[in-house]
Amino acid sequence: MADRYQRFASTGPGRLLVRRLGLPNPVPLRRHRPGDPLVPAPVLVGGGGRVTDAVHAALRSARVDTRSTPESDARYGALVLDATSIVDSRGLRALYDFFHPVVRGLTSCGRLIVIGTPPDQCDDSREATAQRAVEGFVRSMGKELRRGSTAQLVTVSVGAEHAVESTLRFLLSGRSAYVSGQVVRIDPVGAVPEVDWDRPLAGRTALVTGASRGIGAAIAEVLGRDGAHVVCLDVPAQGQDLSAVANRVGGSALQLDITADHAPGRLAEHLRDRHDGVDIVVHNAGITRDRTLAKMTEAQWDSVLAVNLTAQERLNDALLGADVLRRGGRVIGVSSIAGIAGNVGQANYATSKAGVIGMVRSLAPVLAARDVTINAVAPGFIETRMTAAIPLFLREAGRRMNSMSQGGLPVDVAETVAWFANPASTGVNGNVVRVCGQSLLGA
């Protein structure tokens, strides 16, 4: 359903009313379009920590106009501070000193990025304390920034400096339009594969469950755009819509109920025989059966857990056990902010989505030994047919209760999935990134 309030707020009378009454002002977000520059204005880089050289190298590779010295009255598309040199609380003044003079020069839909050290990687407690404090600064800046701008913290382990380019490209670009206030961790890896940044998934096979519509269809489209052959999977009842999506993205369709006893074996056999394996597995299939717990039936509880969590575990076991998922593979789960903050009437759904987060955290070190990563997206309010059916006032609350004052689009989730899937994102493992416009709900 169209966001009529946003359309009104962008008109002359709407802008005047919004300003006079102090109403939410949702500006159109900068989203990725082929051929657009990564950043529409120069990027100011500061800090001089251990990651600074890698940042400059990544920006040169992306042909970004980079500045190291602030200029009076300059406009910047992004502000990037390498804060890895901060080793105690007194050093936190560097955050103020760098951003205070220039933050008002950030363009509409600008980007603020701080690079830090994971606190558990610090040499002593004072450094760990200071590095953890940086997170509070970034989350606050995400709420202070206006006009569609975002703020992120990227923590880079020692030895992972060379693996930052994929994450920087994602966070600086319009692909991360609805991602803000997030912490991304990059851990040490070996060599980072060279990729064609326009088609980084060329030659790879991706599986997307629940691909017949909504977020699943958007994921299939973006992965296909990035060069992957997409195996689109959904239940037989969605066969017609599923085939339409598969045809649109140049992929193939597989009708299968992932909760069936035979589903893991059949899927593994299909991917091995038809595609010689799979490189990317996106666990998007999910259902809701909303009731307060006192009114919830056993079937409503069981069905949601079976589709949203247990099926993912069973499919992972089958694909990993039979070596169908290739080395260098990517497993990506779709969680939800309900799995972080909970939600009234969704105890079953929130349990399943929190379980997806638990699966990511627990499997990340196990899969790393096989050169496989696992991450998850946690969408907030995304404009789909499901959210369009929510009663008006609840729908408006969902749209406005975030730093962007608007709902996200399915493509916002899909772009985040594509970043995780990128071969150059090899150091990004065990992350759960909310795609929620920095929702006021949850952490």
| Number of Cβ atoms within 10 Å of the Cβ of 73 | 5
Q: Is 130 helix (H, G, I), strand (E, B) or coil?
A: helix
Cα–Cα dist 26/442, whole Å: 21
For residue 388, with 0-12 CB atoms within 10 Å meaning exposed, 13-18 middle and 19 or more buried, which class applies?
Answer: exposed
Write the single-letter amino acid at 327: R
Distance in angstroms between the alpha carbons of the first and the last residue of the chain:
28
**Which residue reads 């050289």 in tokens?**
53
Which tokens go with 148? 């569609």
Q: Virtual CA dihedral for 382, 279, 238, 265, nearest 10 degrees? A: -130
Measured between alpha carbons, how far is 152 from 139 in angstroms, rounded to an integer?
Answer: 8
Report whether 134 contacts 92 (CB < 8 A): yes
Q: How far apart are CA 383 and CA 400, in angstroms?
A: 12
Active site residue 349: yes
3-class DSSP state of 90: helix
Helix (H) or strand (E) holding 113: strand 106-116
CB neighbour class for 267 (10 Å; exposed up to 12, middle 13-18, buried from 19): buried
- Are 286 and 312 contacting, i.e. CB atoms less than 8 angstroms apart? no
Q: Quick check: 433 and 179 in contact, CB under 8 A?
A: yes
Q: Of 103, 138, 105, 121, give the one whose Cα is nearest residue 51.
A: 121
5, 76, 178, 349: the catalytic one is 349
Query: 66 with 59: CB under 8 angstroms?
Result: yes
Nearest C-alpha neighbor of 64 from the set 137, 171, 150, 138: 171
Q: Which amino acid is at 39?
A: V
Q: Which amino acid is at 442?
A: G
- Nearest C-alpha neighbor of 98 from the set 109, 114, 110: 114
**Which residues form the catalytic set?**
349
